[in-house]
Amino acid sequence: MIDDIKKDAESRMKKSLEALHSNFNKIRTGRAHPSILDAVTVEYYGSQMPLNQVASVNVEDARTLSVVPWEQSMVPKIEKAIMTSDLGLNPASAGNVIRVPMPMLTEETRKGYIKQARQEAEHARVAVRNVRRDANGDLKSLLKGKDITEDEQHQAEDAIQKLTDGIVAEIDKALESKEHDLMQV
């Protein structure tokens, strides 16, 4: 039972870390990277589809993405979807290729993105702490039901705390890396 609680806590904490990485990918750093457009959805035959399922997204150079739709008729829809996304990008189409230049980041926008990254990291830390709280609550209920001893509970809580500390350290490392990326000119 204790092992199940630990495994569940570990998988949930790792999912929080994966969600943080996904959220960090949405914060642009001024360099072109295809994952910036992952959140963009396009209307395709009446349903919303992720951009990468209706077109190929490639890095043309350090500051430009190229989007090549699989169907010519999708060019205006994709262009509109990129413009209306909250990414602040202005695509330009040339035939069936859409070029998305990455605007230079000003000092003010860099600080705003760093603030956003710190908020995302704090949300991830809170999620990890909530998982720890849930796991410790499960251990306490096992103790109340006389399924485990107090010593086993304390050992399991220590193991969960070590796991929590390790995941929080990974979150801090990811935040530091993202801040470094954002501050590079």
- For each of the chain's 185 residues, which pLDDT tens digit applies? 888 889 999 999 999 999 988 888 777 666 777 777 877 888 888 888 888 888 888 888 878 888 899 888 888 888 888 888 877 788 888 888 888 888 777 788 788 888 889 999 999 999 999 999 999 999 999 889 888 888 988 999 999 999 999 999 999 999 999 888 888 76
Cβ atoms of 31 and 66 closer than 8 Å: no
Domains of the chain: 1-27+106-183 (1.10.132.20), 34-101 (3.30.1360.40)
User: What is the model's pLDDT at position 29?
Assistant: 67
R_g over Cα of the chain: 22
In angstroms, what CA-CA distances link 156 with 19, 47, 148, 152, 166?
Answer: 26, 47, 10, 6, 15
User: What is the model's pLDDT at position 30?
Assistant: 65
User: What is the model's pLDDT at position 133?
Assistant: 94
User: What is the model's pLDDT at position 93?
Assistant: 85
Q: Which two tokens stand for residue 177?
A: 């890396």
User: What is the model's pLDDT at position 185?
Assistant: 60
